[in-house]
């Protein structure tokens, strides 16, 4: 009989639809092997803060959560144990390394493995925990789809679906009012959400971080459309997109947290109004893209990733990230992708398709 393992699961960084499906699949697969499954609350907090204990994950807790957005474990994007924010005695914020405490707690709790569900930040943390001897299996989550070596990250399909529906809806009002509408979508420094939702919603212009844009080219497109009797234009802009020679617009940084991006849609709308004399409005979709029920696709890949993570633990195949390539699930070493980003390939067929059908990419 194989050893009865005690396995912890956590969710880190921004939430994404599909997290609960991973938790369910991993928990049920583990329980069915006779293991004990526990949840770490709010990123790593249950291992760094005694007031937030580990949660014993039961079959009952897994009922009906595949279709639920968010994460039943909570998450944290100011929860890097190597750079944990704290307030000193004068009330000033700083960061400190709490990773030794975390490793000690992991051992005290007799945990055999950690299933870490997260994006680039979480996999970077995981790679540092691996160096400290924690056996980790990673599951790729982020609506941004920017983790290398995997075709998909869970949450991306749902974000694209929500953005596409929103852009579809904005299109009908844009047409009624002869307006230029500029819709800002998430994605950080990669243009996956913008490109896919822009293509699917038949936007006229899509601006992505991988292709710095030129306002003159956008104006040419607006004028071309007007010459064809189309007096409205739909522009989708990724939050990390930049004008040629320009910088990513940000909303500032909170200590211990990644910089918040945003503001580009408003800037583009204002500039286009000045250049064309036409009315341009901006809409920021924001966290709408991260909320609510996952799509069928995200549910399935999340369940597959959760069950595969448990198979990896059973095999003792640690320090691996579960990935999807060509609809096959497999595992790659986490340190191989730590600190790297998957950008939209400019020589890929999706960009070629956009250009072939006349979608303006701002260049």
Question: Which residues of this chain interact with ligand F6P, rule CB under 6 A?
Answer: 14, 77, 119, 142-144, 186-188, 239, 260-261, 290
User: How many beta carbons lie within 10 A of that of residue 326, not counting itself?
Assistant: 6
Report the nearest approach of ligand F6P to the CB of residue 260 (Å): 5
Query: Which residue in 9, 29, 18 sits closest to 301, CA to CA?
Result: 18
Q: At CA 315, angle to CA 310 and CA 321, rounded to 5?
A: 60
Residue nearest to ligand F6P (CB): 186
DSSP of 44-55: THHHH-TTS--E
Q: How far is CA 112 from the centre of its chain?
A: 27
Q: Output helix, strand, coil percentages for the chain, rounded to the nearest 5.
A: 40, 20, 40
- Is 144 catalytic? The answer is yes
For ligand F6P, the closer CB: 27 or 77: 77
Measured distance CA(22)–CA(28) in Å, rounded: 10
Torsion of CA 49, 51, 57, 62, to 10 degrees: -100
For ligand F6P, the closer CB: 201 or 289: 289
Partnered with residue 328 across adjacent β-strands are 325
Which candidate in 90, 100, 112, 144 is catalytic?
A: 144
Report the nearest approach of ligand F6P to the CB of residue 202 (Å): 23
For ligand F6P, the closer CB: 77 or 295: 77
Report the nearest approach of ligand F6P to the CB of residue 64 (Å): 25
Report the nearest approach of ligand F6P to the CB of residue 327 (Å): 24
CA atoms within 13 A on the CB side of 54: 21
Report the nearest approach of ligand F6P to the CB of residue 14 (Å): 4
Measured distance CA(178)–CA(213) in Å, rounded: 23
For ligand F6P, the closer CB: 204 or 239: 239
210 three-class SS: coil
For ligand F6P, the closer CB: 290 or 304: 290
Measured distance CA(36)–CA(53) in Å, rounded: 16
For ligand F6P, the closer CB: 134 or 163: 163
Query: Which residue in 177, 171, 253, 249 sits closest to 204, CA to CA?
Result: 171
DSSP of 70-93: S-TT---SS--GGGEEEE-TTS-E
Six token digits for residue 310: 């448990």
Report the nearest approach of ligand F6P to the CB of residue 164 (Å): 16
Catalytic residue list: 144
């Amino acid at each position: 009989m194989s050893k009865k393992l005690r396995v912890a699961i956590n969710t880190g960084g921004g939430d994404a639809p599909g997290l609960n499906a991973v938790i369910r699949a991993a928990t049920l697969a583990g329980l069915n092997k006779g293991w004990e499954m526990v949840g770490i609350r709010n990123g790593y907090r249950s291992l760094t803060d005694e007031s937030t204990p580990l949660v014993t994950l039961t079959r009952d807790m897994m009922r009906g959560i595949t279709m639920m957005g968010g994460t039943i474990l909570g998450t944290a994007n100011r929860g890097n144990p190597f750079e944990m924010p704290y307030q000193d005695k004068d009330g000033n914020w700083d960061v400190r390394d709490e990773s030794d405490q975390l490793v000690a707690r992991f051992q005290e709790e007799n945990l055999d493995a950690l299933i870490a569900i997260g994006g680039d930040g979480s996999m970077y943390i995981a790679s540092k925990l691996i160096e400290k001897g924690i056996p980790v299996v990673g599951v790729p989550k982020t609506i941004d789809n920017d983790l290398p070596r995997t075709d998909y990250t869970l949450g991306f399909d749902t974000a694209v679906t929500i953005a596409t529906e929103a852009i579809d809806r904005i299109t009908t009002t844009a047409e009624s009012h002869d307006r230029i509408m500029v819709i800002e979508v998430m994605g950080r420094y990669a243009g996956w959400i913008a490109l896919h939702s822009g293509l699917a919603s038949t936007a006229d212009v899509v601006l992505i971080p991988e292709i710095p844009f030129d306002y003159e080219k956008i104006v040419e497109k607006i004028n071309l459309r007007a010459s064809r009797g189309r007096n409205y234009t739909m522009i989708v802009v990724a939050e990390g997109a930049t004008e040629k020679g320009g910088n990513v617009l940000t909303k500032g940084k909170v200590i211990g947290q990644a910089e918040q991006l945003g503001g580009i849609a408003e800037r583009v709308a204002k500039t286009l109004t000045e250049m064309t004399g036409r009315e341009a409005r901006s809409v920021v979709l924001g966290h709408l893209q991260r909320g609510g029920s996952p799509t069928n696709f995200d549910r399935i890949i999340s369940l597959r990733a959760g069950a595969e993570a448990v198979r990896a633990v059973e095999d003792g195949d640690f320090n691996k990230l579960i990935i999807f390539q060509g609809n096959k699930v497999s595992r790659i070493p986490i340190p191989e992708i730590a600190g790297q980003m998957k950008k939209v390939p400019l020589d890929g067929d999706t960009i070629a398709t956009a250009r072939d059908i006349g979608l303006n990419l701002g260049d």
